[in-house]
Amino acid sequence: MGERKSSIVMKAEKLVESAMKGNDASHDASHAFRVRDLALSLAQEEGLASSPQTIQIVELAALLHDIGDYKYVRDPSKGEIVEKFLEEECVDESERMRILNIIKRMGFKEELTQKINGELSLEFRVVQDADRLDAIGAIGIARCFTFGGSRNRVLHDPNVQPRLDLSKEQYMKKDEQTTLNHFYEKLLKLKDLMKTKAGQRRADKRHKFMEEFLKEFYEEWDGRA
């Protein structure tokens, strides 16, 4: 089992590097690798480490979660890359479905559609929390401005207010938004959406860092600092 897992993980890493190499640095392979490391760390804290199968599900879901991201892929068929990869690697059907279920449901935009409740598996929770942790704190700030820059987005415009009550469709339309508004539309909400105790503990620190950053940003923007 250990050799098989190692082989699959190494192949998954190569797939991530190949499929995401054209993305900007906010959603590149390094993001997937950080999410994987965070997810495994959270899984350890949440008591999942004793199950090799569960750890493999967590690791593969975390590694592969952003392949075919709608922000970068025009062709919907690209979303089938992960499913094809798992089939070719002869991943057990039950395990494959668990991995795909995590990937398909873990996005922030999915939670805008319906409130995700307590039915979720712990493996889902640690992968989703890991992805959200990478969206906040120092790394999250860097990623936010990297993505905004890649789309030629304005840093900040006091006349453009953040959209606080968003549908999934509205959230996906970002063309007229400023980079700073993304903090209010998503990033500052993530702390309260963490679904594991381990994720909540880490999110508290990262959230406070973002609040301090925003305070400094506004002071400098207004010439007060």
Confidence of residue 1 (pLDDT cuts 50, 70, 90): very low
Per-residue pLDDT tens digits for 101-142? 999 989 887 776 555 555 789 999 999 999 999 999 999 999
| pLDDT for 74 | 66
DSSP 8-state assignment for residue 74:
-
H-helix segments, the chain: 2-19, 29-45, 52-64, 81-88, 93-105, 108-113, 122-133, 137-150, 168-172, 181-185, 197-221
The token pair at 156 is 């900040």
- The C-alpha atoms of residue 127 and residue 66 are separated, in whole angstroms, by 12
Question: How many independent structural domains does the chain possess?
Answer: 1
**pTM surpassing 0.85?**
yes
- The C-alpha atoms of residue 161 and residue 26 are separated, in whole angstroms, by 24
The pLDDT of residue 76 is above 60: no
- Mean pLDDT in the chain? 89
Range of the domain at 213: 2-221
| pLDDT for 20 | 94
- The C-alpha atoms of residue 167 and residue 3 are separated, in whole angstroms, by 44
Which CATH number does the domain housing residue 106 bear? 1.10.3210.50
Per-residue pLDDT tens digits for 162-221? 987 766 666 656 566 899 999 999 999 999 999 999 999 999 999 999 999 999 999 999
| pLDDT for 72 | 80
Which string of DSSP letters, residue by residue, matches 126-187?
A: HHHHHHHHTTSHHHHHHHHHHHHHHTT--S--TTS----S--HHHHH--TT--TTHHHHHTG
